[in-house]
Amino acid sequence: MRRARLRWDEAQREVEQAAPEPCWLCGRLLGQRVEWHHPWPKSRGGRDTVPVHPICHRTIHACFTNKELELFEEEGRPLGEQPEMARFLGWIATKPPDFSAPTRRRR
C-alpha cells in the first residue's frame, strides 16, 4: 500500500511539473485538478484516457450515455459538435482553468 502511494505521489508530481496541457474537450489549459476521461467508454472496452477539467468531465457524463459516447467515437463525430455540448463550450471558453460550477443533469 505504501509503495503504491509513493508511486502515485511521484506520478502526480511529474504531472504538476510538466508543461500545461490543453483539455481534450474544451481546449483550455488544464488547472490544478485534472481528471481522465475514456473517450471510448471503459464499460465498452475503452482503455485510452485523455485529460479533462473536472467540470468538462461532469458535463460529458451529464449530457451523454455511455452508448452515445461509444457511437460518437465509432462514427468519428466530435463531442463539441453536438448541440448540448457546443452550448457548454461557448460558455466555458472564457472561464479560468480551475473554474467550477454545479453541473445540470440531462432533462
66 exposure class (CB count in 10 Å sphere: 0-12, 13-18, 19+)? middle
Residues 77-105 pLDDT 10s: 999 999 989 999 999 999 999 998 887 76
Sequence spans of domains, the chain: 21-107
Residues 5-61 pLDDT 10s: 556 556 666 665 565 789 999 999 999 999 999 999 888 888 999 999 999 999 999
At 56, list the grid cell: 468538462
69-103 burial: b if 16+ Cβ within 10 Å, else e = bbebbeeeeebeebeebeebbeebeeeebeeeeeb
